[in-house]
Homo-oligomer: A and B are copies of this chain.
Amino acid sequence: MANFEDVAKEFVGFYYNTFDSDRSQLTALYRDTSMLTFESSATQGAAAIGEKLANLSFTNVKHVVTTLDAQPSVNNGIVVLVTGQLQTEGEERPMNYTQVFQLLPEGETYYVHNDVFKLIYG
């Protein structure tokens, strides 16, 4: 199995590229047990998470990753903490955000078991 830091970097790159180009495809990264907490609103299950992401108010969005830290975790999982900036259409200034992913292995790949996203103000 690949090094956890390489997996984390590859995952994060793929995740935000997909989010910023066609976020309906993110559904495939979640499973029925997965949880997303987006701005303190919690959703469980791939279908519900996909719907939640699809219905976010912004259309055009761009994530820029500032920092990425990864650790090996339970059941050969990986915890990834990202900080970055989010630029949405109509907003002049990018917003700071933080996001944590708990990835779990599934065959040769990983899925997102936990996902918490939070904007940072001030």
Name A's B-contacting residues (CB within 8 A). 35, 37, 40, 42, 66-67, 69, 71-75, 77, 79, 81, 83, 85, 96, 98, 100, 102, 104, 113-114, 116, 118, 120-122
A100→B79 contact, CB < 8 A:
yes
With a cutoff of 8 Å between Cβ atoms, the chain B residues found around residue A35 in the complex are 71-72
Known: A79-B102, A102-B102, A114-B79. A96 touches B71 (CB 8 A): no
Q: Which 10 A-B pairs have the closest CB atoms?
A: A98-B98, A81-B116, A74-B74, A100-B100, A79-B114, A35-B71, A37-B69, A69-B116, A71-B114, A81-B100
Are A73 and B102 touching (Cβ within 8 A)?
Answer: yes
